Structure 1
Amino acid sequence: MDDGAVLRPRFFVDENTLPLGKALAAVRPDVLHPGHRRCPISLGAQDTEWLPYVGDSDLVLLTRDMKIRHRLAEKRLFLAHAVKGIFLTKAGSTTRWDMLSMVVQHWEKFEPLADLPGPWVRSLTRAGLGELKLPTLPAAEG
């Protein structure tokens, strides 16, 4: 990647891992986070505010928030806006450095995923990327 080129955004790091988002955005012009100068999502925005932006902008979400897959409003938005998500599982118990190291170690696996149509979800652990089931809506909702 040419550091001088401004690439179209491809990745969005949730505010719950803001230090990770800032570190990645400092070295990758295709990474956004809430509050980033090139991102319309402000700090403090609710998941229901930014999920449509992430999906409609064809960005890959990086987050620790596994609850997005379980709360009804977020599930609806995740599916309706074809969000592509990488969930940093077990990241809550790691240091910021360990989380950054884990993401950088597996970054090359993120690149081809960014080109896949959404919705889809993956988990990221130190061992690598794994499949996760897409959120589902109750039968009356689907």
Structure 2
Amino acid sequence: MREIKDVEQAISAARLLCEKGPEIVLVKHLSRAGYRKDNFEMLLVTKENSWHISRPLIDTGERQPVGIGDLTSGLFLVNLLKSPSLTNSALQAALEHVTAGVYEVMLETQKRGEFELQLVAAQDKMVTPTYKFRAVQIKTKG
């Protein structure tokens, strides 16, 4: 196992996974490999394309809510299942919706000072987010 130090390495590693079978790899948290330390960043990678998206970090205090990754995966799957085909625009839209939906849940959780994700309280905004984040297609070398 190797350490991923930047976005390009993360894309390369995701593409290696795509060669082994999956058509899509969602990198749910770039952490230190991202472009900015003050943002939460994700990647969506296929054999041919990759997209990067970021949103502001949310300070939840000393305890991070549990289940953010599960929520991200679930929302992403729902978006894929709702799409008639996995076109580039559908993949980009799914990534953008997931990022905004999770952000809305995180904001509601922070607002209520809770540790458990406030899914019910944020359900309408999770489905129809008020915030918008734009996924940017990354052109890689080679």
TM band (smaller chain):
0.3 to 0.5
TM-score of the superposition, structure 1-length normalised? 0.38
TM-score of the superposition, structure 2-length normalised? 0.38
